[in-house]
Amino acid sequence: MAVAKVIEIMAESEVGWEDAARKCVVEASETIRNIKSLWVEGMQAVVEGDAIVKYRITTKITFVVRDDRD
């Protein structure tokens, strides 16, 4: 049986939502091992004038903390 944990992380990028997701995984992987999936729960953009200046996402990251199947 595997035991997994899900945490919520918010990330931001000036480039796009995909870049924000990448930054989220990179940051989380500095302290978390065995990341298995990322689910984007919500998206938001900050607009100034007529341009998007920041892309924000709320994510759920799933990682395995124990796997007895090995």
In order of start, what are the domains of the chain with their CATH numbers? 2-67 (3.30.1660.10)
pLDDT tens, position by position, 19-42: 999 999 999 999 999 999 999 999
pLDDT above 90 for 62: yes
Residue whose C-alpha is closest to residue 55's, from 6, 10, 25, 3: 10
Compute the average pLDDT of residues 1-15. Answer: 95
Both tokens assigned to 38: 């990322």
- What is the spatial distance between Cα 59 and Cα 25, in angstroms, rounded to a whole number? 10
Q: Is 22 helix (H, G, I), strand (E, B) or coil?
A: helix
**pTM of the complete model:** 0.86
Q: What does the block give as tokens for 46? A: 């900050």
Give me the residue label for tokens 């992987």.
Answer: 29
